[in-house]
Amino acid sequence: MNLPNIAINVVFFALSSLILFAGFMVVWVKNIIHAALWLIASFAGVAALYFLLEAPFIGVVQILVYAGAVSILVLFAIMLTRQVTGEATRQLFDRWWLSALVALGLLIVIVRTVSNPGLPADAQGNTRWTRADRLAPAATAQAANATATAQAAAGATAQAANATATAARPAAALPQVAGAFEIGQSFMKEYLLPFELASILLLVALVGAVVIAFEERSRRRRVLTLAEETALRRSLKGAGLVAPLTAIPGPVDQAPASTSGMNTDSSERR
């Protein structure tokens, strides 16, 4: 993103504040559905950070996988396993202070690692942060330094020639990092079968969740038994109401018909 440093810092701290606030609301709100929605907001903020760091492919994957698939999976799990329509309870446990202590320790480690200006050289195994568009000039400068060192050493003619060739190579000839376009092409060519298998797996999980929800709803549907039908008819008769024979289907509906048939036969015999 072609933004000045001040604008980048403002956007970064705004997104970081959004992510932290959304993560805090996930564990603080009473309604668990609202907690899942705040989790989606946190995932979206992380995706925006990836776009800010000029990693569009990782940002898109963050949106599709975490803000999309994982969040929907969490919502399905909530709706299928818990009763969310009852009284809301705060999502806290007795040892919340332990989680807060661990989170504070991780925060201190991250802040000290990122803000430490006296990091040693890369040769000692420490990571230095840099922009992707600065990798090629840095590699060219390192090659030039290697050339000067090789030329100064006596009896290193072959090494000096190799270093000179490396230094003379333009920065455009350095290997480029694959972007979103190249990764998308590899998904549709070399990795097409695993990509389709993953999509089928997600589809099977979605269909299975729908089937489980439908069976649960059908199982909870109220079905009148014979005793309940008889009690309902007696209550209607006692209230002075007449229940039609077709109003409540069941074995009881056949009893009056058979009784009336017996009365008709007895009257004809008489």
Distances 71 to 44, 63, 189, 219, 246 between C-alpha atoms, Å = 11, 10, 29, 27, 48
- Mean pLDDT confidence for 32-40: 90
φ/ψ region of 125 (left if φ > 0, alpha if ψ in -120 to 50, else beta) reads left
> Model confidence at 30, in pLDDT bands (50, 70, 90)?
confident
The percentage of residues in the chain with a pLDDT greater than 90, rounded to a whole number, is 13
Fold annotation for 1-115: Four Helix Bundle (Hemerythrin (Met), subunit A) (1.20.120)
**What is the token pair recorded at 154?**
């006596």
pLDDT of residue 55: 85
**What is the token pair recorded at 269?**
């015999």
- Mean pLDDT confidence for 120-142: 54
DSSP assignments along the chain, one per residue:
----HHHHHHHHHHHHHHHHHHHHHHTT-S-HHHHHHHHHHHHHHHHHHHHHTT-HHHHHHIIIIIIIIIHHHHHHHHHHHS--SS-------TTHHHHHHHHHHHHHHHHHHHH-S----GGGT------GGGHHHHHHHHHHHHHHHHHHSTT-HHHHHHHHHHHHS-GGGSPPPP-HHHHHHHHHTTTHHHHHHHHHHHHHHHHHHHHHHHHHHHHHS----HHHHHHHHHHHHHTT----TTTS-SGGGHHHHHHHHHHHHHHHH-
Buried b (16+ CB within 10 A) or exposed e, 15-27: beebbeebbebbe
CA distance 243 to 255: 14
pTM: 0.50
- Mean pLDDT confidence for 198-223: 72
Greatest mean pLDDT among 43-52, 67-76, 158-167, 209-218 lies in: 43-52
Compute the C-alpha angle 4/5/10, nearest 5°. Answer: 100
Is the pLDDT confidence value at 2 over 50? yes
> Model confidence at 166, in pLDDT bands (50, 70, 90)?
low
Distances 28 to 86, 89, 93, 106 between C-alpha atoms, Å = 18, 10, 11, 20
> Model confidence at 256, in pLDDT bands (50, 70, 90)?
very low
User: What are the boundaries of each domain within the chain?
Assistant: 1-115, 143-174, 182-221, 226-269
pLDDT of residue 79: 77
> Model confidence at 42, in pLDDT bands (50, 70, 90)?
very high
Is the pLDDT confidence value at 174 over 50? no
